[in-house]
Amino acid sequence: MESNKKYYELQALDLWDFSSFIRKAREIQGITLESLCRGICSFSMMGRVEKGERLLSKELRDRILARLGVCSDGYENFLFREDYIVWKRRQQIVSAIEKSDFRMAESLLSYYDNADDDGEDEGKLGRQFKLVMKAQMMKKRGENRAVIAKLCEEAVKLTVSDIDGMSVNGLCLSVQELDMILEYERYCHPDRLAWRCEDILRYINSDIFDTYSYVKIYPKVVYCLYQSMDDGSRDWNKLLRLSNEGIEQLRMAGRMYYLWELLEIRKEGMTRLLQDVRDSRGERTKQVLEETVETMTEWLDALDFVHDLCGTNRRMETSCYLYQQKEAYCVSDVIKRRREMLGLTKKKLCEGICSEKTIGRLEAGRTKPQMEIVKQLFERLNLSGEYQRWQIVTKDVRAFAVVDEVIRCANNRDFDRTANLLDELNQYISMDNPINRQFRERIEINLKYGKGEITGADAVEQFRRVLEYTIPYEVAMKDCELYMTNAEILCLFNMAIYSGSFNECPAYDALLKICGHIEEDGISEHIAVWEAIMTNAANVYGDIGEYDRSDEISLRTMKESIHCYRMNLLAANLYNNVWNYEQRIKNDIPVRQGYQGEKFLKRCITLCQMSKSTVRETIISKKCK
């Protein structure tokens, strides 16, 4: 699957203007209005939405976006109070099921028993979500398959009523609906599951989905295709090609959806092919197959090791991950907290934008002002006036591809390539915008430090200056309810790292307070920020000799990462454990029996290889030698 132009064109659209977004996104994807609304709302309603005459609930907006191939992973989403409550409830249900807290999940799902169930389109999606979540709980508890099958059928036919025997090609469906169709076939019509998998593979290979949407469904379809075939009828060449594609996409995205299952398929397939290589002419082929089997075995062993360490399940148990949405914030809370952080009165904030009364009602969650008013308020608060934030502010599609490449090259310490890309980026974004300057200069500071052009102390001062493009440093240090962007948190994070004494830096204390607020709010909802900070916190505790505390934090971080199916920081946290064991041995502190340092380090290297963390792999490999 190409990293296609359509993905970046969609990112350039402004989600604040939802009616315009739908119209332009349909044009980019080549989707008709009839296809988009089929089964979820009436054609007339969608027409009014496109004309800006009708506002939709979050549930319906989310389904429309998902059908358009737009995934919200990785962005900061700003929602009005009612929508935020819906989002929050759903995330709590998903998290509770993932962690097997079924009592909590059932309690939260009871909301849908009392919700409006009068057959309206928007109520239909709430009922569908409830049916899907009930089926997930029953699957995880190993309950009656017939009941699960009935729930699956009822759920999918709410929005795809005529799916029986019908190809999905020609329809417009979300990743969630494709998953419901798969589950329906698995439980109700297993005899046609193979055909359906092939059908869905053709659909998702049409480049309608972005990378994060693609990796959520593709690996599962491949696994279901494998399951649908008898042992003697499996086309191993095809399964190996498909599983390899799935594994590579997961590695690129840093996700673990059905990763263990695909590795097993690839290992089994390669082992079977190896048995068929007999004559001497196949020696080279035999060697390649043996190396691949060995690699798959190492990768599976590394995953098994981490899952055993964390007490987590290596196999996928539910489809809840498809409903995880991260980085959402309530507009009312953001404006109130940000205003108070910056010491602005309501009168000062609203000057030339709206009335002071509007600000009061907005902060209390009692009004939804025009989107243009919210955008202007955000910009006055040094926030991006966009519904769904990218790391930069621009309408130039070319910029987004460059940003992706900048981040990749910077992470791999490809300094020259990163510098050239930053120069190219200047052509597509305005440096008058503080958010754009913040992005560019954060990368540049890391670049200069990596090349030895500045000291750690220099880097700290420069990151402080970059932070203050959008918020004063003293404000970020306040012990109060804060709203800080991920870019601002990254500035603090880098200040703490480059200070040379992470635990004594004021920025470090601020970061731990941010993590405390995240834990109160829900770790899975802000996992990217939390896992990065806590991974380094574990590192710091190890450096100062608090090895037990460091191990505790690393273990917890790995567990939370696994619950969110993220692999990129597993190696770093496992290495923290290795470091702590080595230091205990050096200092004659008792360690648990059976600890094998070299084995642990090799597991770390394998995890680095799986997640394409080349820089970390180099560091750990040197340690291993």
Calpha distance 530→553 (Å, rounded):
11
Residue that the structure tokens 């909802």 belong to:
525
The pLDDT of residue 413 is 87
Q: In the numeric block, which tokens belong to residue 456?
A: 């750690």
Q: Are strands 77-79 and 328-330 parallel, antiparallel or unpaired?
A: parallel
Task: Report the interhelical angle of 175-188 vs 193-204 (nearest 10°).
Answer: 170
Calpha distance 404→398 (Å, rounded):
11
Cβ atoms of 572 and 598 within 8 Å: the answer is no
Q: In the numeric block, which tokens belong to residue 430?
A: 């305005």
53, with CB counted inside 10 A (0-12, 13-18, 19+), is: exposed
SS3 at position 566: strand
Domains, the chain, ordered by start: 86-323 (1.25.40.10), 328-380 (1.10.260.40), 401-624 (1.25.40.10)
Other Cβ atoms less than 10 A from the Cβ of 580: the count is 24
Q: In the numeric block, which tokens belong to residue 137?
A: 């709980």
DSSP string computed for 222-236: HHHHHHHS-GGG--H
Other Cβ atoms less than 10 A from the Cβ of 513: the count is 15
CA proximity to 535, closest of 616, 601, 474, 606: 616
Q: In the numeric block, which tokens belong to residue 511?
A: 């970061």
The pLDDT of residue 160 is 96
pLDDT > 70 in the chain, percent: 94
Calpha distance 145→151 (Å, rounded):
10
| Single-letter amino acid code for the residue at 161 | S
Q: Distance from CA of residue 388 to its chain's centroid?
A: 14
Strands (DSSP E) contained in 125-249 are none
Calpha distance 573→459 (Å, rounded):
25
Whole-Å CA distances, 93 to 283, 515, 537:
54, 22, 29
| Single-letter amino acid code for the residue at 570 | L
The pLDDT of residue 275 is 84
CA atoms within 13 A on the CB side of 596: 6
Radius of gyration of the chain (CA): 25
Residues of the chain with pLDDT under 50: 1-3, 74, 116-119, 387-388
CA proximity to 83, closest of 57, 47, 45, 48: 57
Q: Buried b / exposed e across 402-441, counting CB within 10 Å, b at 16+?
A: bbbbbeebbbeebbeebbebbeebeebbeeebbbbbbbbb
Cβ atoms of 172 and 67 within 8 Å: the answer is yes
Calpha distance 18→34 (Å, rounded):
18
139: Cβ contacts below 8 Å, ≥ 6 apart: 148, 317, 318
Q: Mean of the per-residue pLDDT values for the chain?
A: 89
Q: Buried b / exposed e across 257-284, counting CB within 10 Å, b at 16+?
A: bbbbbbbbbbbbbbeebbeebeeeeeee
CA proximity to 367, closest of 380, 377, 382: 377
Tell me the H-state helices in 470-505. 473-476, 486-498
